[in-house]
Amino acid sequence: MKFLDQTKIYVRSGNGGAGCVSFRREKFIPFGGPDGGDGGKGGDVWLEAADGLNTLIDYRYQQHFKAPTGGHGMGQNRHGADGETLVLKVPTGTQVLAEDKETLIADLDTPGMRILLAKGGNGGFGNAHFKSSVNQAPRHANPGLEGEERVFWLRLKLIADAGLVGLPNAGKSTFLRAVSAATPKVADYPFTTLHPHLGVVSVGEGERFVMADIPGLIEGAADGAGLGTRFLGHVERCVALVHLIDATGESATEAYRTVRGEIEAYGAGLAEKPELVALNKIDALTPAEANRKRAALERAIGKPVRLVSGVSGAGVRELVNEIAAMLRERRAETQSEVGERSDWAP
């Protein structure tokens, strides 16, 4: 299945059914009077966040959606049936944007969350609705109201707890393979990963978290170089970032600063997220070389640096446990903040 995280859709709700002009015609009832029924309401168009979806590929080959028209009224005071509601399913984490691609309408970040995209037109009144003491035989009815026609952009931001960032070939996909059952493509050339991957990492019995691997960033990505920073949107929802650096590269410090520069240029609060820095591929170095590079990087960035290897597994479990501990701490802080707000009263 191909990955698609952005698409444009055209939706139209159903028209309302027309009212009916009819008169009761029965034997021995000379003055039956009007009995035209009302038209039914047109179908609505809803958007719903659903579990089990992680791409918008369903909207790659079909972008136009129209709800059915309401049924027309009939004689004998029979009202038309309402048009069937059209529900479009999207992955949890999908944002709904206006046609200008900037105005945020809704953020479906909870499974089962729904939003009304277009409301169906009301059905028209039949002539039975207009009868009165001064108009006992009305010969007109209302047509149904037209439905709404609107254009939206859908943008998916994957929901993950931790996000892997780094330069191309930093070993992010290999690390994700080592800690989860995910199977992203791994090769010895840059930009092997062309779209984000998710993996579920098990820490202990009953404790798991979701990790996202996004394509590598290069210098100038904020200006569109390489794959750009489009995929950084998938780590906006992450609680923490895991920055992997290739220990076999020429300068780990320059690699770190390049990625951090692109993250800061992207904005959206990514630069303020907690970050764990790790030197990857230490299996290709001697312990002395790995420790020397770690010490140099720690002095340059002023943060602790971990040593890991996605191939040999060295340091992987320790880093996973550290990520899990950070996630637990952040969740506890969030819950305490929510509790403090709920206890407040005017």
Contacts of 321 (CB under 8 A, 6+ apart): 203
In this structure, the answer to whether residues 187 and 320 fall within a common structural domain is yes
Same domain, 96 and 173: no
- Reported in sequence order, the residue ranges of 192-239 that DSSP labels E, i.e. its strands, are 197-204, 207-213
- Residue 56's alpha-carbon distances to 18, 99, 151, in angstroms, are 36, 17, 16
What are the beta bridge partners of residue 74? 78
* Residues in contact with 10: Cβ distance below 8 Å, sequence separation at least 6, in sequence order: 63, 64, 65, 149, 150, 151
pLDDT at 68: 95
267 and 120 in a common domain: no
Inter-residue contact 158 to 196 (CB < 8 Å): yes
Domain boundary among 141, 156, 171: 156
- pLDDT at residue 268 is higher than 80: no
Contact 45, 65 (CB under 8 A): yes
Angstrom distance (rounded) from CA 143 to CA 44: 18
**d(C-alpha 143, C-alpha 154), whole Å:** 34
Among the candidates 156, 182, 203, a domain finishes at 156
284 in the same domain as 242 = yes
The answer on 88 and 225 residing in a single domain is no
Q: Are residues 226 and 98 in the same domain?
A: no
DSSP-assigned letter for residue 297: H
The pLDDT assigned to 344 comes to 43
Question: 187 and 336 share a domain?
Answer: yes
Same domain, 135 and 282: no
pLDDT category at 146 given cuts 50, 70, 90 is very high
Distance CA 16, CA 121 (A): 5
**What would the pLDDT profile of 208-228 be if each residue is shown by its tens digit?**
888 888 777 766 665 655 555
Around Cβ 322, how many Cβ atoms within 10 Å? 17
Distances (CA, A) of 80 to 76, 139, 140, 289: 12, 19, 17, 79
Look at residue 340 and tell me whether its pLDDT is greater than 60.
no
Tell me 309's DSSP state: -
Residue 193's pLDDT is what?
Answer: 62
- The mean per-residue pLDDT over the stretch 51-78 comes to 90
Which backbone phi and psi does 191 adopt, to 5 degrees? Answer: 55, 40
Q: Give the residue with greater pLDDT, 191 vs 100.
A: 100
Instruction: Average the pLDDT over 156-161 and give the result.
Output: 79
Is 177 found in the same domain as 131?
no
Beta carbons of 21 and 126 less than 8 angstroms apart: yes
This prediction has a pTM of: 0.73
pLDDT band at 14 (very low <50, low <70, confident <90, very high): very high
- Looking at residue 132, the DSSP 8-state letter turns out to be -
pLDDT of residue 138: 93
Strand-pair partners of 305: 277
Q: Are residues 140 and 200 in the same domain?
A: no
Name the domain boundary from 116, 132, 156. 156
Q: How confident is residue 110, by pLDDT bands cut at 50, 70 and 90?
A: confident
Helical packing angle, 287-301 and 252-266, nearest 10°: 40
> Which has the minimum average pLDDT: 59-63, 193-197, 291-295?
193-197
User: What pLDDT is recorded for position 79?
Assistant: 95
Residue 182 structural domain: 162-343
> Of 57-71, 258-272, 278-292, 298-312, which gets the smallest average pLDDT?
258-272
Angle between helices 172-179 and 316-343 (to 10 degrees): 80
Q: Domain of 335: which CATH number?
A: 3.40.50.300
State residue 124's pLDDT score.
95
CA 148 to chain centre: 24
Query: Residue 1: its pLDDT value, please?
Result: 47
- What is the tally of structural domains in the chain? 2
Per the structure block, which two tokens stand in for 134?
A: 């001064």
Average pLDDT over residues 121-148: 93
76-90, 97-111, 177-191, 261-275, range with the lowest pLDDT: 177-191
User: Tokens at residue 17, please?
Assistant: 């059914």
* Confidence at 338, pLDDT banded by 50, 70, 90: very low
Q: Are both 71 and 207 inside the same structural domain?
A: no
Q: How far lies 12's CA from each of 46, 48, 82, 83, 150, in Å?
A: 11, 16, 16, 13, 6
Mean residue pLDDT across the chain: 83
Does 147 lie in the same domain as 241?
Answer: no
**Greater pLDDT, 339 or 208:** 208
Here the tokens at position 192 are: 């092997």
- Whether 342 has a pLDDT exceeding 60, the answer reads no
What lies within 8 Å, CB to CB, of 78 at 6+ separation is 20, 37
For the segment 306-326, the average pLDDT, to the nearest whole number, is: 84
**Percent of the chain surpassing pLDDT 90:** 31
Predicted pLDDT at 339: 53
Q: Give 286-291 contacts, CB < 8 A, sequence gap 24+.
A: 290/247
Residue 54 binned pLDDT confidence (cut-offs 50, 70, 90): confident
pLDDT tens-digit map of 269-295:
778 888 888 888 888 888 888 888 888
128, 23 Cβ separation under 8 angstroms: no
How does residue 337 score in pLDDT terms, banded at 50, 70 and 90? low
**Cα(91)–Cα(3) distance, integer angstroms:** 12
